Chains A and B, each alone.
Chain A
């Protein structure tokens, strides 16, 4: 018994890779546990019974046709940004600049709508907008990428700072282009002529956005899984030295991947400004650049799993919004619930990757073998 004091009470070791159903099962348990905690928090704050709370949340997300379309729209925009970040994350390049890249794309889009609106044919305008948005987003990601490739500048911090440069640029142009003078905001652009608005396709004005993002999801999944580029990204992410050894130009891969990442964020900016709000404000990205980091990570960078994770987070925020409206609470309630869900899922990864061994009371010699 004396020797046991040298063995730690808890010993943690890595698990072998779990089959997919086991790891998703653990995540599901985590989500359910989070939902229970959310229900308790909501009950304490509103004094309502949990059944009522959930039916309110479900109503908030799926209750009417409009709500369902809003849910689809919000999910697909979040999904779009998550898809954008995926190739960068796969390369272990922490692109936290989604927010800034969306804003850059959106700003370029708004600029085209304001400066060229009603001057050139609508089809040409939309083409110019698309190119400009995608280009602007790509440039915004390119700057940190070049520095990372050349001097190994810390990309997490660099991309983070670029967000605020973009925010201030948008604030600057909001005042330059303000309508009416002194309002400090742009307002709906080309409201009467709808020049530069993405056209309505299919049954609903949001259908086009959803469709584009769904196509993008498939393309991204194929790109990551079956293309040579996708493979190179993976190798660089796993080990830069290995990549160099097999003749992959690491710099080229970093820059190319970030161009792609920024371009898709720029596309999200286009969908937000040209396809949804028809205006630009500093908050148009709405924290999606950050939320998307979590969406992508939750889905383990699998584009199809991201549909589920972005739907989950959007459901929570829409549902919590409904709760706060019904009970007259502040709308930040959704952020609290989202936070709780995230903490649980983040924590659940531990049980997927690691195994816990407790110290055995009798067998002293076994503790060595077990590791």
Chain B
């Protein structure tokens, strides 16, 4: 509990720090006017990304529906309870960000009390619109794919396509750098085009009550319209989405024999790709890495990157990849994801080593190709020389292995075996949170000493970092292989 508490505090502190620094930076540059607009856009983007991939499956969870449907509770109450659960998570982010902006403003600017009152009230309303939009998109993906033959794979493909389109859109907005460089007016125009409701919120807190009322009205109207529509047709939608029947036409044919490891790997792979929530949350780091690196090489930013000193980029690049790939390995929730099926793993005469290897292999199956693609693309952009080429490939791969092994270790220490919905172990598991922080720290800490050294000393240090990681991987792996399966689901 203490570890998780600390992890949440650190994440909260990171958000406060990020928002605080940005706010202070804008005020120092004389761009304080942009703050409400910027806040509105940031909260909308975070809320949207946090909600979109879980919305459909969370809202129309079969298990919850079957549990609640026979109870004398109106459908609207079930829908509202689901909405509130999602809203509370989004609200926390909104409140923390808004209050941080307000505190920095209070210390640095002299603004009317009305500004603070409207900002605080707005924090409660800001998540509503992006949350509704993400629920519409999430439900849409869920509904389109629900009746497909391979619905889980299709959900993943649809979600990934949406994700790429979403970031391409953001990237295209970001492309208008000249406007941003031109100053406040250009920057505000760019943000207003990106998310108009943030502009209404911004105008509102700056005194335009009409714009504020428009922001509040549209947010509530969209939210309640969607809630009403879902509430009205909830039973029909759930029944339509969840009704599933097999073909019942199997004919016995010859079967293949595999080793225990292959069997475990097959099962792990099936488990992984059966859950779009699991894939989207654990593969996101790798997908973002490949996507950003590809964007970098084909956009104007590549020119900027090429202009940076090669010694600087060569040292930094492997650790940027390492950081991206270490955020959320599938192993950090691999034991937890077994959930109610874990009795099977426990009762089978299979070596823990085979189980561990299978879980690590699934993680590496995603991590290693994306690392190699990203490293190859980066190698063309930053053109490292000599040994730096080797480090660009080797360091991220070592980190990918470390992430997979350490993730499983953290999950072994903090399993979440009892859950109602897959999003719980994948998104809210203590192990996932701790892994995220440790992955961040493990990729960032070695960067600092690297900038002190140069030439051959830097290469020796790089080799030393890799050696330490290899040693850690070996020790943690040994610990994993000595795991007692009974200890994971104790009591």
Indicate whether A and B interact: no
